Chains A and B, each alone.
Chain A
Amino acid sequence: MSLLIMKPGLLTTVQDLGRYGYQQYGVIAGGAMDSYALRMANLLVGNDEREAGLEMTVTGPEITFAEPSLISICGGGLSPMLGEYPLPLWRTVYAPKGARLHFGRLSDGCRAYLAVAGGIAVPVQLNSRSTYLRAGIGGHQGRTLRSGDVLPIGTPTLRGNLWTEMLTREQGPESLSVSRWFPAYSLIPSYPETPVLRVIAGEEFLAFSEESRERFLSELFTILPQSDRMGYRLSGSSLSLVREQSLISSAVTFGTVQVPAGGNPIILMADRQTTGGYPKLAQVITADLPLLAQAKIGSAVRFRLITLQEAQKQLLQQELELRRLRLVLEHYHNG
């Protein structure tokens, strides 16, 4: 089983949920920028949600399926087409042998995730299949995909095979088929043009001037073109500390909002470094990281302060909903 990359798109990499356990050695966690969309895509093809898929950014790739494949695309609206048919997102799709997946205009969000039943079976390195570009490890040869790449696909689960059987029952194995089932609307996020990101106060929150804190929580900040998978650089009001202080480097994480001396905040993203020494103003809550990951360069974001207790409640709720969906899907064998 394999996928053939005909055109790579703007930035297409193999990602799973990240490389955990090695940050103490300076090895970044990485993983999907929008892990919610990847998890959902995996669940919809019967995979374990930790399987690797493709992260496709702004301009999608062109892919040929060497064998019949059960696929799902979740996340940003990159307008996928299978041959001449537009594909809905957040569905299970049966792609016949030789089918050609390509993408059109960007409607909302900026990253889509392709999961294939069986998962993208590139070698596991340091406990993950995620591409770590700077170290050249993980993913497909440690790099972004190129035309001509052939990606191996693993063995679908029993559930994946049953769904393939269900989807081919009416039209036969030669035709494209889209599932009638899909997750509840409440589980499908929308990606607003100007998202409001909930944050909790960071360790140095009170070291910032009151004026800076108020501006951070009331004004719009624009995502600058220098932003990437490592960090989003923002421009807006300049934020400053009550007095300059030098900090000892310590751990930073996905969503940490740090402010270097220049005053423009940087939000650390999936490929963040493991430790940092800039003051931590705030932390985007984990439940809102997908909205941030789908915010494109040039768009604006706004911040709203909530408590840690509320942030953890939101996260637990999201996890419980996904768990419920997983249970439902595990028992969905005849429909």
Chain B
Amino acid sequence: MAETTDDSEFMPQAPVNHGAARIVPLGDSAAIVILGDSISPQIHNRVRALCRYLEHHPFTGMTELVPSFTSIAVYYDGLGVLKAYQEYIRLGEECYPFLVVAALLEKILSLVESELPLQPRTVRIPVYYGGEAGPDLEFVARQNDLSPQEVIGIHSSAEYLVYMLGFAPGFPYLGGLPSSISTPRRLSPRVAIPAGSVGIAGDQAGVYPLETPGGWQLIGRTPISLFKPEAVPPTLLQAGDIVRFYPITRREFIEWGEDTP
């Protein structure tokens, strides 16, 4: 191979900087707008504001948005972008779809800065804690020198922010777990975790919408479905929602009827 890696021509595309934001390519069909370098509610609010703007004012050729903790991936169809924004192409031969998209996103970033933050929606999720539904509740309690009842009390009195959905359809990455019950992941992941399982991994909290393998500590289970393919949108939670858990009894769980532990 003739190429050497110190050939600057092939280095990662230099980011397009816009204030605190950076725009970098994700392959040849998406751009990522990075709005910060740490997980915080403030950066999350900027992610949401930009997402909301793009959803309501998509540029021609934009195909999909994927927000995450600190960034948004904006997928685009290069041919559509070039056709729609001819004025950018006259800038010269150097122009290719990513540059057009970066220029559009830069313009959009300045518009979004004046937007007001959204009022979050609060979603309450019932949880049957412990027993067969929460096989790791005892472990989480022992790790933190608490009783299982205290863990339930702490877990169900906190407010959680849905930072993003990922890993599986409708799986929420929740911030706001009180550090008094934070617990590392299991040393060996379970092969199958039942749908609805409520888990802890380090300082993160989450709920498994489908049966999947996973290494989180399981403290309970909800009878509510987090992924509903027929609904619009197809998930119970969306990024930006506030989640509150509340305890229910084994009997209430079974009477809910969606699932049985």
Q: Which of A218, A252, A312 has the most CB of B within 10 A?
A: A312
Residue contact B1 to A206, C-beta cutoff 8 Å? no
Which residues in chain B, 62-98, are within 8 Å of chain A measured between CB atoms?
A: 63-71, 73, 75, 78-79, 82, 94, 96-98
A206 CB to nearest chain B CB (Å): 6
Assess A27 versus B169: contact at CB under 8 Å? Given A214-B4, A218-B1, A312-B96: yes
- Number of residues from A at the complex interface, CB < 8 A: 55
B170 interface residue (CB < 8 Å to A): yes
The residue that A134 contacts in the complex, of B11, B12, B166, B210, with Cβ under 8 A, is: B210
Residue contact B28 to A250, C-beta cutoff 8 Å? no
A183 interface residue (CB < 8 Å to B): no
Residue contact A26 to B235, C-beta cutoff 8 Å? yes
Complex Cα distance A249/B39, Å?
10
Residue contact B24 to A255, C-beta cutoff 8 Å? no
Name the residue on A nearest B27 (C-beta).
A283
Complex Cα distance A27/B231, Å?
13
B127 CB to nearest chain A CB (Å): 20
B144 CB to nearest chain A CB (Å): 23
Assess A312 versus B170: contact at CB under 8 Å? Given A23-B66, A201-B10, A256-B27: no
Question: Quick one: CB contact mask for A17-30 with B, threshold 8 Å, 1 for yes?
Answer: 00011111111100
Residues of B within 8 A of A201 (CB): 10-13
The residue that A286 contacts in the complex, of B28, B37, B38, B66, with Cβ under 8 A, is: B28
The residue that B10 contacts in the complex, of A26, A28, A307, with Cβ under 8 A, is: A307
Residue contact A248 to B167, C-beta cutoff 8 Å? no
B235 CB to nearest chain A CB (Å): 4
Residue contact B12 to A22, C-beta cutoff 8 Å? no
Which residues in chain B, 195-241, are within 8 Å of chain A measured between CB atoms?
A: 209-210, 212, 227, 229, 233-235, 238-239
A315 interface residue (CB < 8 Å to B): yes
Assess A251 versus B234: contact at CB under 8 Å? Given A134-B210, A201-B12: no
Complex Cα distance A25/B164, Å?
8
Question: Quick one: CB contact mask for B20-39 with A, threshold 8 Å, 1 for yes?
Answer: 00001111111010100111
Q: What are 26 of the A-B contact pairs (CB < 8 Å)?
A: A24-B51, A25-B165, A25-B233, A26-B168, A26-B169, A26-B171, A27-B169, A201-B12, A203-B32, A206-B12, A218-B1, A249-B166, A251-B26, A251-B68, A251-B73, A253-B73, A253-B75, A254-B27, A274-B66, A274-B167, A283-B27, A305-B10, A308-B13, A308-B96, A315-B28, A316-B78
List 8 extra interface pairs beyond A26-B169, A135-B168, A251-B66, CB under 8 A.
A25-B238, A26-B166, A26-B168, A201-B11, A214-B4, A249-B68, A284-B27, A315-B29
